[in-house]
Structure 1
Amino acid sequence: MTDHHTPSNSSPLPLTTSPFDDDKFHDECGVFGVYNTPEASTHAVLGLHSLQHRGQEAAGIVSFHEGQFYSHKSLGHVADNFNTQPVISSLPGNSAIGHVRYSTSGGAGLRNVQPLFADLASGGFAVAHNGNLTNALTLRKQLVQKGAIFQSTSDSEVVIHLIATSTYLNLQDKFIDAMRRIEGAFAFVALAEDCLIGARDPLGVRPLVLGKLHDDSYIFASETCALDIIGADYIRDVEPGEVVTISEKGLESTKPFPSVSPRPCIFEHVYFSRPDSLTSGTSVYKVRKNIGRELAKECQLNADLVVPVPDSGVPAAIGYAQEAGIPFELGIIRNHYVGRTFIEPSDTIRHLGVKLKHNANRGELDGKIVVLIDDSIVRGTTSVKIVDMVRQAGAKEVHMYIASPPTTDPCYYGVDTPDKEKLLASNMTIDEMAEHIGADSLKFISIDGLYRAVGEDNRNKECPQYCDACFSGEYPTPLTDNNASDADKQFSLLTDSRA
């Protein structure tokens, strides 16, 4: 296998991750796969570019050409590391898979950048994973005790070892055997010498879509926006519990798992997915506007302006303004060029930091009663600064309305979230939260209102239609590693750390 690594961003300035985004759930990861098309790696680069919002720490691509696998992995953004013809030329072939990463399980570092590759007895095999395995540490301990040697601290590598040690004969069966042993949430794309595989966990927590570029060229991607950028047609979502194999035989589908009621992540509708994507065939943008409308029905106020916290609050704010009959204005302007900064995050810079990313539009806010619309509150740190900034711009009253229920519990399914004790809603009442962030009032959409916005009558309390554990604390899979013994947790500290 030919393997190329770019150790860091090539900018001459010392870049650090922005210290001004600590009040959001960090996006999980994005996966992309393409089969049987010329310039597969070019398509993969474009697909990953459109999925950049799902993971901004690192990116990687593995391609296959004439019996040989080729790889390029880098820390940093896709555009910074896959932007030259020599890089693209180093990834020849008609099939490729790619991954953009924000570290959840396993932590940062080049050795954890995906896709992961291994030479197995049945041939070369590369895999990229979106999600998190809730029994990865337990399986890892078992594998290490049997002599397995791990090259990374990513939970995804467990799958490689499970495939390598499976007693089934062909690679597809080995892959399915491995899928049956893991718990948690996953969307996999995998590349072998003769096929491309896409797989989704039985609950469908993490998204994966299937597209078509031409008659015999297929695409897997985390979101439909990655199909749009290369002109591919959206066929359908990969179904929960489905394994799709694409080869010279065409498309083959199997469902090797026991049938269960799907529980896709509802936060895809709230924040993670790009608004121009489809989730379960439904426009994310329209759903977010619906969330704003439901929020207006539940939380009415005689205000002068509806102002979104950009950019994620914009569609919900439009829906709220339309339903409430209150003017929508861009009362906060976002600087789109601040994601990473060369400025060291000292206390002084942290205090000023929100103004690097957002600035109040004083001409619209002065003397007004303002409804601020945001998608969520996690720690509350940014909300404090936003409310204060709007007040300093002359707003008469500032009311913060949130387009999701209170975030009370961490996610264990591939989203980097704070521990429960650091989540504002798990430690304060809503009135206490309002006082903490300095708002005149604070309102959240109800969980039933959120379900109505995505097209359900209400939340089915006996068997919820979505994974909403971050709002309800009801986790749809076993949390095997989280409930491990103290000795096993000590092992986890040595082998796998959260970023």
Structure 2
Amino acid sequence: MKYESTQFESVVSPEKSIKTECGVFGIWIPKQGLDNNLNCSTITDVIFAGSLLNQHRGEESYGLAIGNGQEVLPPFTEMGLVRSAFQKYKKEGRKMDGHVGIGHNRYSTTGSSVIENAAPFYAKCESGGVALGQNGNLVNSPELKQNLDTLGVQCIGTTDSELMVHTIANAPGDTWEEKIEYTLKSSKGSFSLGIITKDTLYAARDAFGNRPLFVAMFNRGGKTGYAISSETQAFNILGDHIRDEILPGEMLRCNEDGLERWQWTDDIFEAFCGLELAYLMRADGRFKERTQIDEIRRKLGYHLALHYPANNVDYVTYIPESAKSSAEGYAEGLSNVLGRPVFSRTSMIKNRYGTLNGSFRGFINPDNSQRSEIGLSSYSPFDWMIGASIAMVDDSIIRGNTTSGVVNTTKNRVGNFRNNGAREVHLRIPWPPVKHSCPLGTDIQTADYLIYRELNENVDEVAKHLGVDSLAFLKPHEFQEVIDEVVGQHVGLCMGCVTGVYPPSIGEYTVSKLQLEGTK
């Protein structure tokens, strides 16, 4: 069924902004285990390890839930990074043995940065216990909450993930499959889900395929296990494996009967988040199973140079780390345009230990002041930039906090006395300029300061504000053309934060799940 795209703008209170670019990792193994390294007593270590490889998708909290064949154990959750949660789990002597489980990295909001909102979430009904972890954002959360209120169901937190797990537990149906499908069909928006019952691993993706989700099958000693993950690099801990993309509108089940997958809806309208490709996903991960993100970003950078060359620069560089591939592609393209070699050079080192509160990635930090601190204090420049004219590539500009801090460092804080810098900085961005909110799970809200929108969509004014000598972005159609070229087929993308045009069936909703904060 074909749909027309919908104009949409989310509404949220100005003092709160939402972030839900989370990471999910789940695994199922036979009850007898696979070998000495992967069995019921080591499954939590494997989930921690897989989740660590998804750490970039959420730094605010972490949790895991385990099913042991008899029940789903109450989830273990902790604020902060996966490593911190792992250390606490070990220090407290926790022991959650089982053969199925999920882990969840959370990336959320300033207003809801509390342990009550750490996933996975757990609920219980006559069929047993169920736990759920989500990546995405529902636009009809108030409807789900009202339905649960009518049933007398109380939630302890303010997330749509908790609403989904309680909806599953209270849904009509005699089987978990019927209950889960009922919930999927009742949920509007973006969701990539990992769900466990006492003995089964489920996964599901919304009809847009808006957020990534993959499944892997691995074999040891003639016994088979299954895993799901938001990104493919997490499967590396499994050794040899076969993996595949979970398709838009698809649901799957992994248990002792094997792997079964089916479409829970036929109303498919592919709208994968373009910002995932430009920034959020790891460069070593895969898209559409076969295409590495590094290859996509290199080609984006190459075409960025063809369309918007920075003439007379000495070198191309980048803001670490996610823009490195695009910068190397830009250097290759610029060399072709200028007819002379222009090399890409690393211009600074990013602090790999983050800020004192544990933050690493500026955009996914829930605190605006922390974003600025990351931009100013987390990058240490190299002296070769002094007096140089450089083309600097960054993956995207949303608010400008991190970018302006890095540009300031590049032009004014280089050298032994931190009082020198580059002669010229020409900034190039593969992701088109952002001027609209995102209702589907990225931290871009109507009330946010979006630098391109606030400066009246004037690129020269944005350049002046950031302190660069020139600035250029790919246009939406240019970005789309590159993705289609690299993948080898047309890819349905959501670029609503750029264009204001969003996938269908959400246009009637003008709420954010942050409005749940006001209902507690």
TM-score by length of 2: 0.83
Partner of 2:317: 307
| Distance in 2 between residues matched to 1:334 and 1:238, nearest whole Å | 34
**Residues 1:102 and 1:352: Cα distance change in structure 2 (over 3 Å):** closer
Partner of 1:10: none
SS in 2 for 1:82: helix
**Residues 1:309 and 1:403: Cα distance change in structure 2 (over 3 Å):** same
CA contact (8 A) 1:106 1:153 kept: no
Does 1:319 find its partner at 2:329?
A: yes
Does 1:247 find its partner at 2:255?
A: yes
Partner of 2:435: 408
CA contact (8 A) 1:213 1:233 kept: yes
**Matching of residues 344-359 of structure 1 within 5 Å:** 354-359=375-380
SS in 1 for 2:227: strand
Does 1:295 find its partner at 2:295?
A: no
Write the deviation string for residues 173-192 of structure 1: whole angstroms up to 9, x where unpaired: 11101100100000111111
Partner of 2:292: 283
1:292 CA drift (Å) = 0.5
Write the deviation string for residues 344-377 of structure 1: whole angstroms up to 9, x where unpaired: xx99999876442012212x11222111110111
Partner of 1:213: 218
| Distance in 2 between residues matched to 1:342 and 1:162, nearest whole Å | 34
**Residues 1:340 and 1:270: Cα distance change in structure 2 (over 3 Å):** farther
**Matching of residues 416-455 of structure 1 within 5 Å:** 416-419=443-446, 422-428=449-455, 429-455=458-484
Amino acid at match of 2:432: P
| Distance in 2 between residues matched to 1:77 and 1:238, nearest whole Å | 27
1:161 CA drift (Å) = 2.6
**Residues 1:423 and 1:491: Cα distance change in structure 2 (over 3 Å):** closer
Partner of 1:331: 347
Amino acid at match of 1:50: L
1:147 CA drift (Å) = 2.3
1:266 to 262, 271, 274: 274
Write the deviation string for residues 239-261 of structure 1: whole angstroms up to 9, x where unpaired: 11000011221111121212323
| Distance in 1 between residues matched to 2:148 and 2:421, nearest whole Å | 61
2:127 to 122, 135, 138: 122
SS in 2 for 1:216: strand
| Distance in 2 between residues matched to 1:347 and 1:161, nearest whole Å | 32
Partner of 2:382: 361
**Matching of residues 147-186 of structure 1 within 5 Å:** 147-186=152-191
Does 1:35 find its partner at 2:28?
A: yes
1:381 CA drift (Å) = 2.4
Amino acid at match of 1:32: F
Partner of 2:147: 142
Aligned residues: 465
**Matching of residues 193-232 of structure 1 within 5 Å:** 193-214=198-219, 215-232=223-240
**Residues 1:108 and 1:481: Cα distance change in structure 2 (over 3 Å):** farther
1:425 CA drift (Å) = 1.4
| Distance in 2 between residues matched to 1:349 and 1:121, nearest whole Å | 45
Partner of 2:391: 371
Unaligned 5+ runs, structure 2: 1-16, 34-38, 336-341, 360-366, 413-419
CA RMSD of aligned residues (A): 3.0
Deviates more, 1:441-450 or 1:66-75: 66-75
Partner of 1:235: 243
Partner of 1:131: 136
| Distance in 1 between residues matched to 2:371 and 2:113, nearest whole Å | 23
Amino acid at match of 2:154: I
Partner of 1:388: 408
Partner of 1:69: 72
Amino acid at match of 1:297: L
SS in 1 for 2:493: coil
TM-score by length of 1: 0.86
SS in 1 for 2:343: coil
**Residues 1:442 and 1:489: Cα distance change in structure 2 (over 3 Å):** closer
Amino acid at match of 2:184: M
Partner of 2:265: 257
SS in 2 for 1:413: coil
Higher RCO, Cα 8 Å, sep 6+: 2
1:146 CA drift (Å) = 3.8
1:483 CA drift (Å) = 2.4
**Residues 1:164 and 1:85: Cα distance change in structure 2 (over 3 Å):** closer
**Residues 1:98 and 1:269: Cα distance change in structure 2 (over 3 Å):** same
SS in 2 for 1:124: strand
1:482 CA drift (Å) = 5.0
1:383 CA drift (Å) = 2.3
Partner of 2:363: none
Write the deviation string for residues 118-168 of structure 1: whole angstroms up to 9, x where unpaired: 121111111111111110122212321342222221111221232233221
| Distance in 1 between residues matched to 2:285 and 2:66, nearest whole Å | 26
SS in 1 for 2:265: coil
Write the deviation string for residues 174-231 of structure 1: whole angstroms up to 9, x where unpaired: 1101100100000111111231101000110011100122142000000001101332
Partner of 1:13: none
| Distance in 1 between residues matched to 2:166 and 2:145, nearest whole Å | 9
| Distance in 1 between residues matched to 2:139 and 2:21, nearest whole Å | 15
SS in 2 for 1:271: helix
Unaligned 5+ runs, structure 1: 1-23
**Residues 1:342 and 1:467: Cα distance change in structure 2 (over 3 Å):** closer
CA contact (8 A) 2:22 2:106 kept: yes
| Distance in 2 between residues matched to 1:43 and 1:318, nearest whole Å | 34
Amino acid at match of 1:444: F
SS in 2 for 1:259: coil
